[in-house]
Amino acid sequence: MTRITAWLLAALAAGAGSAATPPAEARFTASDRCLACHNGVSTPAGEDISIGAAWQGSMMANAARDPYWQATVRREVMEHPAARAAIEDKCAACHMPMARLTAAAEGRAGAVFAHLRFAPGCGEEDALAVDGVSCAMCHQITAAKLGTRESFSAGFTAGAPAPSGADAVFGPFEIDRGRARVMRSSSTFEPVEAAHLQKSAFCAVCHTLFTESLGPDGEVLAVFPEQVPYLEWRHSAYRDAQECQSCHMPEVAMPAPVASVLARPHPDVSRHVFRGGNFQMARIFNLYRRELNVAAAPGSLAAVEHATLEHLSAYAARVSIGAPVLSAERLDFEVVVENLAGHKLPTAYPSRRAWLMTTVRDRTGKTVFASGALNEDGSIAGNDNDADGGRYEPHYREVTRPDQVQIYETIMADQRGAVTTGLLSAVGYVKDNRLLPEGFDKAAAGKDIAVRGAAAEDPDFKDGGDKVRYSAAVDPAGAPFTIEAALWYQSIGFRWAHNLAGRGAAETDRFVECYRATARHSATKLAADQRTAP
C-alpha cells in the first residue's frame, strides 16, 4: 500500500504541476483486498448481495475504463494543449482518484493517459488507477466540509485515524471489537461508524462538478456547472424526503450481513449497485472487454444493463395523453410528462437527453403524423442539432409539424455564442429544459441550476414536469386514430458522440466505433401512454 494524502484541486487552481501541501493522510489499496471478505454475501432468504460483485460491474468500478471519458479527455487536451497537465489532473480526480491522490502526495499532478495501459503486472499507481472509484476511496472520505462549495469537484478530505490509531474506513454500522480486529489484521483498515456515507452531500463531492472554461491561450473565461444534480436535488421537495442513496443504492428489504466472514445481520444494508442511467456503457464494456481490460464477468455486465433499464422504466417518468379533439383536418391533444426523479431529468453529464416520440395512426394502422422518431444511427429525426452541430432544437409549447421535436436537454455555447460539445470551451447553457423535479421553483433557482431558453417562459413547464400541446394534420376520414406518446432517453446523444470523429486519436476513434456499434440500442423508453381518438 502507498501512503497518500487527500489533495483538493490545488494543482489546477495554482497551475499544473504545482506542489501543494496535502492536508490529510489516507492509505489506499486495490479492491481485491476488500473483495475477499465482502463477496459471497447472502441474505437470510438466500439472495446474493455481494458488495464486491455488485460494485465490479458498476460505472464506479469502471470509471477509468470508460472509453467515452477517455475520448473526451483526449479531445479536451487536443483542443487546449497548454492546459494538458491541469486537465488530466482534474479529470483523474473523480475517475482515477486513488492514483491521482497518490501523485499529489509526491507533489505531482494526476495523470490519465499514462495509466491507460492497464496491463497485468502494471505498477502500483496503475493498479490504483484501473480500480476507478473503489472501496478504499469512498470509505475513507471524511465528513469534513460535505455539502459546501469547497467539497464539490473532488474537494473532499480523505484519511483519518481510528481510535486505535489504525487507518479508519467509515461505514454506517457499529462493528464490535472482535470483528474490527479481524478486519484490521486482514486489511490494515479499522471500521468506524459514521452516518455521512448515507447522505446526499457525500455523493456530491464528485457528482457536483464545476469546470473552468478556457480561452484559446488557456486563459480562464468562466466557471462552468458541468453537472450539478446535488444542487438540483437540494432545490427540490426531495431534499427533505430522500437521499441520493435511496434510489442509487437501494436498501436490502431485510437485515443482512455485509461480509462473509463472521457474518452478522445489519438493518438497512445498502446495495452497492450504484443505479444510474448509463445502460449503453455496460453493453460497450462487454463488446470491447479485451480492449478496455474489463474485469467484470460478461453476465455481470449484462445484469447491470438489464437492471439499469428496469430502473429507468420503473422510476424515471410518467407520460399521459389528454382527451383528443378532432376537428376539420386536425387532431389536437396534450401530452403531460412527469419527472419522478429527485433531480432534473435527465441529469449529470450534459450528453444525456430525453425526448417525446409521438405518433398518430389512422384506423388502418398507417402513420399519419410522427415526431421524434429514432434513426438507426442514434440520431433523432427532425432534430436540428443532430442534422447540424451548429444548430439546436428549441423548446416547444406546441408541436404542429413532424420536424418539431420536444427534446429535454442542455445545449452549451462557447464565448462566441456558437453551439459546442467541448466542455472546456463552453461558458454557459443556451438551452436547459430538462424536466424539473417536484418542488423545484424555477423562478427562484440560482444560475447554476437555472432553466435556460424558451422553457423559462413556458407556464406549462414547471416543477414536476411539462405539458406539450400537439396539433397534427389528419384526414378526418381516417378516424378513429390511435395516439401514442413515449418519453425516450439516451445517455450519449448523437452529436456528442459524432463530434469526437475525425480527430485522429486512438481514444476518440475507438469510442466513435463503440458508439456506432451500439447506436441501434442507444436509447430506451422511459414511459408511454396510448389513446384512441374517435
How many other CB atoms are found less than 10 A from the CB of residue 43? 16
**pLDDT greater at residue 146 or residue 9:** 146
Q: Are residues 73 and 155 in the same domain?
A: yes
* In the chain, % of residues over pLDDT 70: 95
Residue 289 located in a structural domain: no
Return the C-alpha cell found at 316: 424515471
Statement to judge: residues 270 and 338 lie in one domain:
no
Together in a domain, 329 and 266: no
Q: Which residue has the cell 501543494?
A: 20
| Total number of residues shown for the chain | 534
The pLDDT of residue 121 is 65
Model-level pTM? 0.94
Q: What percent of the chain has pLDDT over 90?
A: 90
Report pLDDT digits (tens) over 267-282: 999 999 999 999 999 9
Across the strands, what pairs with 225? Answer: 210
Strand partners, 171: 193
Residue tagged 466540509 (cell numbers): 145
* DSSP track, 450-512: --BSGGGG-TTEETTEEEEEEEEE--GGGPSEEEEEEEEEESS-HHHHHTTTTS--HHHHHHH
Is position 63 within any domain? yes
* Residue 296 in domain: no
What is the CB-side half-sphere exposure of residue 31 using CA atoms within 13 A?
24
Q: How confident is the model at residue 151 (pLDDT cuts 50, 70, 90)?
A: very high
Let me know whether 270 and 373 are in one domain.
no
DSSP 269: P
Average pLDDT over residues 475-503: 98
Q: Assess whether pLDDT exceeds 90 at residue 1.
A: no
Residue 214, all three cell numbers:
478556457
Q: Identify residue 533 by its one-letter amino acid code.
A: A
Same domain, 255 and 354: no
Same domain flag for 175 and 252: yes
For residue 448, the number of C-alpha atoms closer than 13 Å in the C-beta half-sphere is 20
- Looking at the structure, do residues 263 and 411 belong to the same domain, yes or no? no
Which of 236, 467, 203, 457 is CA-nearest to residue 344? 236
pLDDT mean across residues, the chain: 93
Give the per-residue SS3 of 337-402: EEECCCCCECCCCCCCEEEEEEEEECCCCCEEEEECCECCCCCECCCHHHHCCCCCCCCCCEECCC
Q: Within this chain, do residues 31 and 161 fall inside the same structural domain, yes or no?
A: yes
Among candidate residues 222, 255, 278, the one where a domain is terminated: 278
Here the cell at position 107 is 507533489
Q: Which amino acid is at 498?
A: H
CA angle (492 as vertex; 81, 298 as ends), nearest 5: 105
- Per the domain annotation, does 224 fall within a domain? no
Domain count, the chain: 2
Query: Of 154, 138, 149, nearest to 194 (Cα)?
Result: 138
Whether residue 3 has pLDDT greater than 50: no
Confidence of residue 354 (pLDDT cuts 50, 70, 90): very high
What is the C-alpha separation between 113 and 163, in angstroms, rounded? 39
Residue 7 confidence (pLDDT) above 80:
no
Residues 341 and 259 grouped into a single domain:
no
According to the model, what pLDDT value does residue 218 have?
86
For residues 488 and 524, is the Cβ–Cβ distance under 8 A? Answer: yes
**Cβ 186 vs Cβ 36: under 8 Å:** yes
CB-neighbour burial class of residue 35 (10 A; exposed 0-12, middle 13-18, buried 19+): middle
> Is 223 within a domain?
no
Separation of alpha carbons 269 and 251, rounded Å: 5
Sign, CA dihedral 250-256-258-260, equals negative
* Cell numbers given for 249: 443504492
Q: Are residues 123 and 269 in the same domain?
A: yes
Residue 134 corresponds to which cell in the numbers above?
Answer: 473503489
Q: Are residues 263 and 344 in the same domain?
A: no
Helices 84-95 and 97-105 meet at what angle, rounded to 10? 120
Does 138 lie in the same domain as 267? yes
* Segment 195-212, tens digit of pLDDT: 999 999 999 999 999 999
* Cβ partners under 8 Å of residue 313, min gap 6: 524, 525, 526, 527
Domain ranges, residue 449: 316-533
The rounded distance, in Å, linking the Cα atoms of 159 and 171 is 14
Residue 311 lies in a domain: no
CB 72 within 8 A of CB 423: yes
Note whether residue 288 is domain-resident.
no
Tell me how many degrees the CA angle 390-395-396 measures, rounded to the nearest 5.
130
Q: At 336, is the secondary structure helix, strand, or coil? A: strand
State residue 285 phi and psi, 5-degree precision. Answer: -60, -40
* In a domain? residue 167: yes
